[in-house]
Amino acid sequence: MAIHKTQKLKQKPRSPILILIASISCIAILYIASSFISTKGLFFFTNPTTLNNIKSKKIFNNQESYYHKYLYWGNRVDCPGKHCDTCAGLGHQESSLRCALEEAMFLQRTFVMPSTMCLNPIHNNKGILHKTSNSSLEERPKASSCAMDSLYDLEFISNTVPVILDNSKMWHQVLATSMKLGSRGVAHVQGVSRVDLKEKDSYSSILLINRTASPLAWFAECKDRNNRSSIMLPYSFLPSMATKKLRAAADKVKALLGDYDAIHVRRGDILKTRKDRFGVERSLHPHIDRDTRPEFILCRIAKWVPRGRTLFIASNERKEGFFSPLAKRYKLAYSSNYSRIIDPVIENNYQLFMLERLILMGAKTYIKTYKEEDNDLSLTDDPKKNTKVWQIPVYTMDTKEC
């Protein structure tokens, strides 16, 4: 068991870009995290068996649980950095957030969390299969950001990495104290390594490390993940930290689905093609359009999902009935089947995505669009990583393959 856990933590670094989907159940992953964290001597982690009945409120309000030094990366995920005007999708921003949280863990500092998350207009408006029964949700003007605590359960996160919001009373107290402390109050840091921040006296004794001078997007700070020991949080950490409301809604839907399998079918933005100088359409993922069509999905998943199973489909495909051909073999379910449960708890696509992700993670067999980890099942063999090679899309398939 111990060996298994270590290997998990030594997994290959993954592309921080694109949408992340956790493959292992959150409990398992938290268990892994807990074993790792405990070896690091951090004591904020709650035993996974008690995750569901933690009195997180108490822990959250208990200042003793918090480090008395702080790490600040700015008031917007990925800004400063190249994503200041617009912002990336949720998955990309989560990679960045996770990187910052890992740094806080490493430095044993409380992380100052942006109080809002920027909503990328493309990711927020793009069609989703989910049809609300109440059109007021669709017609609502699209917000450009949402409250961080409408996505994540910060008390829950704080059991692993203590966090405070940058609009909290606590943060204002920290700022006031840092001013009084003068040069020992705050260090404005750029291009200093994590290890130096931890070990050099000129940083380690400072109340507040201000990282906002870095010109890089946050995730770039984690790009060099060759040093495996700097990876402290699994990919699925933030997905499993969804707010109580989202987790409760996902649990209700999961209960109604019963024993189910799931596929996440990414279409939309990743199908983008462009014409080369001869006017020929090219795509970064030459097989993705084909592999995410129902007839090819049927063929691909037949070996993993037996006939008659309930299949939960999460997709950004807009066309109504697009996946209906799958109904000849499976009992199909979408988030729209559970509008009654879902609509009251979501205000934007990021929340919907987080909720759907919890449902996907709970499936018996879960097939992602792309393979992200060694054990993943996927709809396509195209790599998720941006290869930067524009190829001619392929729509045929060797019939022997099915």
Ligand X SMILES: *[C@@H]1O[C@H](CO)[C@@H](O)[C@H](O)[C@H]1NC(C)=O
Q: Which residues bind ligand X (CB under 6 A)?
A: 72, 106, 134, 136, 186, 188, 194-195, 210, 212-213, 227, 229-230, 331-333, 337
CB nearer to ligand X: pick between 72 and 350: 72
Q: How far apart are CA 372 and CA 239, in angstroms?
A: 15
Smallest gap from residue 178 Cβ to ligand X (A): 7
Residue with tokens 């993670």: 361
Assign 183 to helix, strand or coil.
Answer: helix
Smallest gap from residue 168 Cβ to ligand X (A): 14
**Which amino acid belongs to residue 318?**
R
Look at residues 397, 388, 330, 391 and name the one whose alpha carbon lies nearest to residue 363.
330
- 324, with CB counted inside 10 A (0-12, 13-18, 19+), is exposed
Q: How far apart are CA 266 and CA 90, in angstroms?
A: 14
CB nearer to ligand X: pick between 26 and 187: 187
CB nearer to ligand X: pick between 55 and 318: 318
Smallest gap from residue 204 Cβ to ligand X (A): 13
CB nearer to ligand X: pick between 70 and 156: 70
CB nearer to ligand X: pick between 99 and 288: 99
Please report the beta strands in 110-237, taking only residues with DSSP state E, as ranges in sequence order.
110-113, 116-118, 145-147, 163-165, 186-188, 208-210
The CA angle 34-76-194, to the nearest 5 degrees, is 50
Q: How far apart are CA 179 and CA 202, in angstroms?
A: 17
Look at residues 371, 378, 402, 301 and name the one whose alpha carbon lies nearest to residue 12.
371
Q: 379 Cβ partners below 8 Å, 6+ apart?
A: 263, 265, 291, 292, 296, 297, 300, 301, 367, 368, 369, 370
CB nearer to ligand X: pick between 139 and 374: 139
Phi-psi region of 36 (alpha: psi -120 to 50; beta: other; left: phi over 0): alpha
Q: What are phi and psi of 317, to 5 degrees?
A: -70, 135
CB nearer to ligand X: pick between 106 and 296: 106
Smallest gap from residue 310 Cβ to ligand X (A): 6
Pairing of strands 260-265, 310-315: parallel
Smallest gap from residue 337 Cβ to ligand X (A): 4
CB nearer to ligand X: pick between 58 and 140: 140
Smallest gap from residue 108 Cβ to ligand X (A): 12
Sign of CA dihedral 389, 394, 397, 402: positive
CB nearer to ligand X: pick between 134 and 144: 134
Give yes or no for a cis peptide into 80 (omega within 30° of 0): yes
